Amino acid sequence: MSKQVINISDVKKSSTGFNHVVKAGDFIFLSSQLSTDLKTGEIIPGEIKQQTIKTMENIKYLLSHCHCSMDDIVKIVIYFRHPKDRSAINEVYKQYFTRGQEPAKISIQAASPIEGIDVEIEATAFTLHTS
């Protein structure tokens, strides 16, 4: 199985030593995403629904550069700060998947070390598409 780092020209590279997207065989691994502007790396604060939408849109954008869609995601891990936010996160989350095709999901309550971030999401996709 080969490993390939997928660099997306208009996505700001991390200064902390990670790649946004790594392909291994037919799997696409996304580093956890936050409510950030992918081009500048700036945090976009907001209420939990807005943070979740921006985070999911970042995932969708990164996948699109791998010729994948949200329905290619096989596993999602959601880290969230406040238990009270779980239902709002889930309300946004379910809008991104075809009903019945949702990925395996893990939700973990955890505090982000980044000020103003209340949700962080990582995703793994499987695809037979070539990139």
How high is the pLDDT of residue 18?
Answer: 85
**In which band, very low, low, confident or very high, does the pLDDT at 77 lie, cut at 50, 70 and 90?**
very high
For the chain, counts of helices (H) and of strands (E): 2, 6
Task: Give the span between the Cα atoms of 78 and 108, in whole angstroms.
Answer: 6
Q: Which residue range(s) make up the domain with 60?
A: 3-126
9 within some domain:
yes
- Which phi and psi angles does 123 have, rounded to 5°? -140, 150
Q: Which residue has tokens 């329905």?
A: 71
**In which band, very low, low, confident or very high, does the pLDDT at 105 lie, cut at 50, 70 and 90?**
very high
**In which band, very low, low, confident or very high, does the pLDDT at 130 lie, cut at 50, 70 and 90?**
low
What average pLDDT is seen over the chain? 93
Distances (CA, A) of 5 to 12, 22, 65, 81: 14, 5, 12, 30
- Give the containing element (helix H, strand E) for 120: strand 119-126
42 within some domain:
yes
**Residues with Cβ < 8 Å from 50, sequence gap 6 or more?**
35, 44
Counting the structural domains of the chain, the total is 1
Question: What's the pTM?
Answer: 0.93
The CATH number of the domain where 80 resides is what?
A: 3.30.1330.40
pLDDT at position 113 over 90: no
131 within some domain:
no
